[in-house]
Amino acid sequence: MSYGIAVEVKNLNVSIAGKPILKDVNVKIPESTITAIMGPSGSGKTTLLRVLNRLIDLIEGVEVKGSVKIFGRNILETDPYEVRRMSGMVFQIPNPFPHLSIYDNVALGAKINGIAKSKRELDELVKWALEKAMLWDEVKDRLRDPPWKLSGGQQQRLCLARALALKPRLLLLDEPTANIDPVNTLKIEEALRNLKKEEDMTIILVTHMPHQAIRISDYIIMLYEGVVVEVGPTEEIAINPKHELTSRFLRGEM
C-alpha cells in the first residue's frame, strides 16, 4: 500500500469558445481515497472529469491551460488514448454496448488491451469485475443475455464492471446514481467503498447528492461557477463547512 498523490491539478483553466468554464482550479487527490466533486448543475464538474480523461479534447473550441498530473505523469502532454487507458469511466446514463452480451461488455476491452490472454484468464477477470461491481450473483446464469434485459441499476453496475475489467488505478464516475433507484445506489456505493479498501483504487465521484458525498467520500471538492470554493476532508466539511455556498449545497438548497 502506498499513499502518494494520485491526481494533482495546478492552475487549471478551461474555456469553451472563449467562455471560461474552469477557473484556476488547484487540487491534490491522495491515492486510495474517494473524492466527491459537488456543486450545482453547470458548475463545471463534468468538465473537470473530462479533463482528467482527455475526453475534453472532443469538444470544439476548447482551450485547456495549466498542469494536470495523474500518478506523476502530466496528462496534458501525453497521448490522449494513453490517458484514457489510465482511468476507468462511468457515465451518468448507463451506456452498455447494446449489441454485446453481458459477458462481452465486460470482456471486450480487456481482450483488446491484452489484459487477459487465455479464455480461462478472461473468464476469471469477468467474474472478478462483476463481483467487484456487486452484480455477479444476479447475472452469473445469464452471461450471454443482452444488457437491455437488465434493469437500469444493473446496467450501471455492468458499466462499472466494464471499467473495472481494465484494472484502472483511477476510477472516474459522473453522477453514476443520478438515474437509478435507491437500492442500486447503495450497491454502487458499497462497491466503491470496497474498491478503495480492497483494491487500493483512487475514486473520483461527481455527485449532486450531498448525502452521498458525506456517506462515501474522504474528501470533498465544492465547485461553483468553475471555481473551487472549498476543498478538504469530508468529516470537516460535513460538520463545519467554511463557505456559505457549501452549507447551502449540503442543506439541499441548490
Ligand X SMILES: Nc1ncnc2c1ncn2[C@@H]1O[C@H](COP(=O)(O)OP(=O)(O)O)[C@@H](O)[C@H]1O
- Binds 44: which of ligand X, Mg ion, none (CB < 5-8 Å by kind): ligand X
Exposed / middle / buried, residue 112 (Cβ in 10 Å: 0-12, 13-18, 19+): exposed
Contact string (CB under 6 A) for ligand X, positions 8-27, x = contact = --------x----x------
DSSP string, 148-194: GGS-HHHHHHHHHHHHHTT--SEEEEESTTTTS-HHHHHHHHHHHHH
Question: Contact region for Mg ion (CB under 5 A) — 45-53, 66-74, 131-139, 180-188?
Answer: 45-53
- Binds 21: which of Mg ion, ligand X, none (CB < 5-8 Å by kind): ligand X
246 binds ligand X (CB under 6 A): no
Candidates 33, 35, 43, 46; binder of Mg ion (CB under 5 A) is 46
Give dist(CA 117, CA 111) in Å, integer.
7
Within a 13 Å sphere around the CA of 109, how many CA atoms are in the beta-carbon half?
A: 23
Q: Which residue number, 71 or 91, has a Cβ lying nearer to Mg ion? A: 91
Q: How far is the CB of 46 from Mg ion (least distance, A)?
A: 3
59 binds ligand X (CB under 6 A): yes
3-state SS, residue 15: strand
Question: Contact region for Mg ion (CB under 5 A) — 14-22, 26-34, 44-52, 57-65?
Answer: 44-52
# residues contacting ligand X (CB under 6 A): 11
Q: What residue type is 147 in one-letter code?
A: P
Handedness of CA 207, 184, 170, 77 (dihedral sign): negative
185 binds Mg ion (CB under 5 A): no
Give dist(CA 9, CA 78) in Å, integer.
15
Give dist(CA 192, CA 200) in Å, integer.
11
Q: How far is the CB of 45 from Mg ion (least distance, A)?
A: 5
- Binds 43: which of ligand X, Mg ion, none (CB < 5-8 Å by kind): ligand X
Q: Provide CB contacts within 8 A for 99, sequence distance 6+.
A: 146
Q: How far is the CB of 41 from ligand X (least distance, A)?
A: 4
| Interface positions, 39-58, toward ligand X (CB under 6 A) | 39, 41-47
Q: Which residue number, 39 or 168, has a Cβ lying nearer to ligand X? A: 39
Q: Could you tell me whether strands 5-16 and 62-70 are parallel, antiparallel, or unpaired per DSSP bridges?
A: antiparallel
The gap from C-alpha 180 to its chain's centroid, in whole angstroms, comes to 16
Q: Is 36 left (phi over 0), alpha (psi -120 to 50) or beta?
A: beta
Q: Which residue number, 44 or 153, has a Cβ lying nearer to ligand X? A: 44
Q: How far is the CB of 190 from ligand X (least distance, A)?
A: 25
Q: Which residue number, 5 or 178, has a Cβ lying nearer to Mg ion? A: 178
> Interface residues with Mg ion (CB under 5 A)?
46
> Interface residues with ligand X (CB under 6 A)?
16, 21, 39, 41-47, 59
